[in-house]
Every structure is written in structure tokens, then in C-alpha cells.
Structure 1
């Protein structure tokens, strides 16, 4: 029986399991004893382990941080690393984001692509390998985390408890493989020097903000200039007069922070629009001088590029609390550069009278030569299933589990040039893509077992 036929025999199971996992709103919750990232991510993990156990896999839950399903024997571990947590649903959905709906050959729901669909596809791929009686001379371990979207503390816990893997992949990038991941600098900007009464926007630091609301004094800006700016830049808006204040809501377009140019940042356009409309405010001046609507970090002096790509810059969340405005900064920098190089470029520009930027977290890039054994084996697995001999492994701005564990690259689950709306409204995975990625993962597991 061909692998494709085997996958199709399991398709109803794949869709049933995916619908079950999508039903959990597994965004990061309140930490409490026994539930490091909240009760719902833990419940989703335990459901995934229950499903895996039904296939006869050995299952282990590591303190509700992360768990794994395993088959095979031997000293070496082949790791497949997926995550069950998701970013907040946000607005703009045509369906309930946590009730998977199939329409026109596509399954819609938060996590269908990133990354619950890939977890289910990998689990069924393991089952098919077992059905094929492939010699399991190594342990194949599907590792399922619950904090990838908010720092991957789950994977750090896994490495502390279980150590690194000998080889493997995370189905959380795109085919035919990702041999480099940009480095990251995460920071926060702060300001007390402001006339803004309130400002709130964004759902996550790694998502381009698609809605922001600000309250300012009446007659502190030109309404016509602001409206003209919004109209010229494709920003939907509402302006509501109060007794002494005006509430402005700007609506942009969400996108993943690794590709901010695909979105339209509501925070940035609102603050740039206010500045152009004559609003006099130290924080707004700071934002325009150091951030603006740029997505390359140029106003902080961080812009740079190498042969694999350029630096990206995103502001994801902003809020005013206790008189202080703060907002998140997400920078992804080229794979051949270092954290020190980027920080040194920005350091002279991090502070003005109206605000300052504090660097909170950094990660060096991940880079495997394109002809390295792991990249080569996984590329062969992709080529043999798809017949695509032209596409080459690439680098990307998104960060995956591969940065937190040895001997791992991102491999799938997205196809190049397909926008599955991850981190956006109406996220989906096509049924055909689910079938193909499962088939590829079967081939990948077999090749790594032979390695």
C-alpha cells in the first residue's frame, strides 16, 4: 500500500483529532500551582497525550509544561517538536476560531496550521511508520509544548529534564526546510511624558497590531488632517467626541511579526497620524522619531541585511497603566549577524526626552549549512513526495523550537507561497496540505531512522 493511500485512510481521524485540539483556547493563561501556563494549555496537552496513547505510544507529561509520545527503542532519539499553544484569536473571523469548520476543502480555526495541525499530522505519520513495520532502531518522540508563542519555557523545561535530541525537526516553519532562523531582540518602550489619557492596542508581541484606541483632549489635533492621513494609508477608523476628550480607534491589518510589511500597524499609523495632525506630545514625538511606520528598525539605527534577508521590526502591544505608556518591540535580524552587532547599532538611539527603549531578551540566530546531513535528508524526504526539485531550503524570520534544542531545524508545515493566515483571522489549513505534510513526515521519519 502506498503511503498516500495509508494517509488517506487516516484522514477522518486527522480531522477529528484536529477539531478536538482546536476546541481548546490554549493561549497562555494565568500561571498557578501545577499549571505553569494556565489550565487550558495543560488540558490541551493532556488531550493530545490521550489521543497519542490510543495509538499505543508511550506518553509522558513533564509537569504540564510539555509532554511527549514515543515509539521505538535504542539510545538515539529522533525528535519531532510541535506546540499546542496558540496566539489569541483576535477579531475579524468569519467563523468561531475554536470550532473548526471545513469549507471548500479548507479547515478553519486557530491552530489549524500553527501548530496543532502539524502535531496531528506528525502523530499520524508515526502511526503509519509503525503500521509499515519499519525497523524502529531509534526512539521516535513527538514532543508537544505549551509555551512556544510566549518564550518556549516549555522546551527549556524539556531539555532540563530529558536533554537534547540526536536529530529531528519542528513542523513549525515551511517546506522544503528552514536552514536558518533570524536572531531576535525583544524589548519594551516606556514613557511617562505624555498628554495621552489612555491608549490600548494589540494582542501579542509577535503579531502586527490591527486595532488601537487612544483618548486625547478635544481640539488637540486637526481632525481633517488625521482623517486624510488614515484614508491615504488604508486605515479604517472611528473618531468619537466626548465632553472634554476624543476617542480615536484605528484599525489596520494583522500579520506575523516576522513579516510586518504584510500587515498595517494600527499603533504606528495612529501615532504617526496624530503627529501629522498637530498633536503636541513628548511620547508621540519619541514614537515618530524612533519607530514611526517603518518595519526595518531604521529609526533606531538597526536596519541591516545579509544574503539571506533583512532585519524586521514590529510593535505588537501598547498600553497605558498607572500613568506609564509601554509597548513591545520584536526585532528579527539576519542569520549571519550577532546580537552584539544589533544592540551596538541601536544603543545610541534608545532614549529621548519623550521615552526610552529597554532590551529585555535576545536570541542568537540559528544556521545550518544547506548541505549539512540533517538538511539534506529532510530535503530528500520532501522531494520524493512532492517531485519538487526546484525549491530550496530557506531562512526565515520566525523563531521555532529549533533554537532551543540541538540538532533540529524547522521542516514544514506550510508550503512556500501559501498564506495560511497564521497569527491572523481566518487561519486555515487545506485538507490536501494536511495529507501531503503527513506523507512527507512519514518519509522524513523513515529517512532519519536509516541515518
Structure 2
């Protein structure tokens, strides 16, 4: 009987060092440094090269696919099992971190830093799971290909490109969600909303940089002295247990409200700075954009006020106002939705237009695809059984989620871990973290599941 957990702990220090190497590279999409061989910017390329160097160090065959993605082959069989992870990360807020955001700091049995849980730490866990099987010289019928891209957080163009150059593995998983195994993922859609509204006393309104994050900070610029707003705004912050402040900017006033970031697939876990700011502004401004946002988004993450609420086999439809830019009457905003597979594009569009038309706002969007793998399939069952073996958890069953992962980019692939039920790795938030013990256990689960799927 192979003790995979013991084998993982033998390699704990090396795993931590490899995660720190990757996480100390701030691999955020940077369109100002895109070039041939680095389509997502220089830091994403550096992360890609760093992961390839780890594979080369260990003696495996590695390939860089034009800077979009890369892979490490462990074993030499023709048939392939894929483990897909991503090296790009979402940006960090300028404040709110207790450690260096890109430090991958080890404290009190946890790693802290952007990417430790999403998705560099889990990618290394998958890599070491395959490496352990190889180093133990276990009999297998498939090689494992560790595949990693640099654009998952902004549309997965990396994997779309990669699979035009390389064949699909026979099956696979991505360690980029939660346990137990995920058999279904909702479709994603971004509604890009534009238009022009009367200024009123609102000069500017700004919040969010990525649609797939609940925006934490919102800034509003208003005509008039700060004395007009200070008392009511601070009282509003206190009432809603929020942080923020008022600044005097010449003859104008700047309001700053700080909510709480979260992943857009679980907007109920965040406090949307833009939405809460507009709820306040509604009391001091007649601006129609403010009215629109407050009317349709305040205290509603599920589209009930928009008339698009739906609960299906994959759960509830979710809504996140992720990006908001307003200046001199010009509106630009992005609303991120995670949509159960039963909902049609026509149903969404009809309801959205009913809300937008009144305010003379326009939209463009493209409904993505949902993912569904038979829960009774060999892939799902063996992944889940490995999870149960190491956790004794028979309560939590295979599930569907709102987040979109690389699993959608190839057939017969699902998300599997790394977050355990009841855990909170603060994905896309300040102080992202992962427990070392959880990481070790996840790696053992991956090794066991992988071996059960590829052994002779």
C-alpha cells in the first residue's frame, strides 16, 4: 500500500520553495509589455519560463508554446492525462494586505500571497503528484502532461491557442476550484454596458479593474464642498460597517468607499464598493447611472431585480458589477454573470434590454459555454473516491460551481480542488492564503486519483 501523504511530506520543503519562486513573480496581464513570445506581458512570460525551468531541473521534457502556454511531460507513453493550471494572477489592491502581496510569505503553517491558492500553489501540487508517481516507478499506461497557461483570469486565450497547436489529453483535471470534484460549471457572460447620462452633480465614478472580481474600492467625484457630503457619507459608512473617507479636491469632493473583494462566481461573499457607493449617492444625486445601479444591483447578487433570477441543476445565476467607469456623462461598465446551462441567451437579453432601454444604455455580450460531465463517469468517480479516502468526507458530493476554469477548454476535463469544504483561501481577495497541511493533503489526493486513473 503506497502512503502518498508520506511521500508528499518528504518533498514539502521543495514544494514550498517552488511555489515561492512562482508567486514572487507578479504575473498580471500587462498589455503595455506584450510582444512576440510574451502575448500577455513580460511578467507572465517570466512565470512561464520559471515553471518550465522547474520541469527541466527535474529532468522532464518541456515545451514553451509561443509564450501562450507550456507543458511538462512526465513519462513517455503515447496516451496522455492532462493536469491544467494557470500562472497568471489577478491584481492586488494597493492596501489591505498584512504581508507582501507577491512575497509568498510562510507564517504559522500557511503561505500568504497572490497565487498561492489561485493557481500557482495548486499547479505545483498537481505537478508533484505526477512527479511522485514517476519517482516511485509505479506502472502506468499513460503519461501525465502538466499544462500551464498565462491568461486564465482574462478569458483563457492561452489554452484556446495551446489546443490549436497540441492535441487534447484523453482526460484531465484542473486544480483550480474546490473539493469535492466539480462535474459542472455555469456559463459565463460579460455584459459590456455603455451610454451617456446627464451629469447632475456627479463628475466621476470609478471602481474595479476586472469583471471577475467583486470590486472593493470605489471613488466618486462630486461638485461642491466636502462639507456638503462629509456628515452624511460618514454616517452611511458607519451604518453599513464600511470603511472610507472624504477628501477636498479644489472646488470638488472625492468620496472613497472600501468594501470587500471576492470572486465574481460568489459575489455574495463580497461587498461591492461600486454598488454601495451608488446606494449612498442616490441620497445626494439625481444622476441616472446612480439610479440604475442602485435600482438593479443593490442588495441583489442573483438578478432578481433585473428579472433574470434562475436556479437550475447547477444552482443560482449570479450577477457582479465588476467594472465601472463614468466621466463627464459617459458610462462604461461590465457586469459579470454566471449562468446555469438551462438559461438561454434570448432569455437573458430580453430582460436586460427591458432594464437598459429605459436609461438609454446599450450592451454587447457573448454567452459562454457551460460544462457538464456525467457524475457517474470513471473520471468523476475515481477523483471523488480519492478525495473521500483522504478526508473520510461522505457528506459533500460531486458538485457544480459558478466559476469558470480551464476544464471548459478541453473534453473530459473537470475542476478538482484545491480548497476544502468550509475553507476560505481568500481567492481574488486581500491576504490570499493556503494552509501547508491542506496543500500536502491535496497533493496526496491528486497522486492517488491520478494513479488510479492511469495505472496499468
Same fold (TM over 0.5): yes
Counterpart Cα distance in 1 of 2:447 and 2:369: 31
| Shift of residue 251, structure 1, vs aligned partner | 0.8
Q: Structure 2 length normalisation: TM-score? A: 0.94
Map 1:18-417 → 2, pairs under 5 A: 18-30=19-31, 31-90=34-93, 91-195=95-199, 196-218=202-224, 223-275=230-282, 277-320=283-326, 324-353=330-359, 355-417=360-422
Deviation at 1:224, TM superposition (A): 4.3
> 1:79, CA displacement in angstroms?
0.6
Deviations 1:196-235 (A, max 9, x none): 2222222321111111111111179765444433322222
The residue aligned with 1:12 is 13
**Inter-partner Cα distance in structure 2 for 1:159 and 1:280:** 50
Does the Cα contact within 8 Å between 1:187 and 1:357 map onto a contact in 2? Answer: no
Q: Distance in 2 between matches of 1:446 and 1:316?
A: 40
> What is the Cα deviation at residue 295 of structure 1?
1.1
Query: Where does structure 1 lack aligned partners over 5 or more consecutive residues?
Result: none
Alpha-carbon distance, 1:13 to partner: 0.5
Question: How far, CA to CA, are the matches of 1:227 and 1:321 in structure 2?
Answer: 24
**8 Å contact from structure 1 (residues 339, 364) kept in 2:** no
Contact 1:202 1:212 in 2 (8 A): yes
Q: Give deviations 1:388-443, integer Å, cap 9, x for gaps.
A: 23321111111101111111000011111100101001111101011101111111
8 Å contact kept, 2:140–2:451: no
Structure 2: state its 5+ residue gaps: none
In structure 1, the partner of 2:426 is 421
Taking structure 1 as the reference length, what is the TM-score of the superposition?
0.95
Question: Cα gap change, 1:223/1:249 in structure 2, threshold over 3 Å: closer, same or farther?
Answer: same
Task: Verify the 8 A CA contact 1:412 1:437 in the aligned structure 2.
Answer: yes
Report runs of 4+ in structure 1 exceeding 6 Å deviation.
none
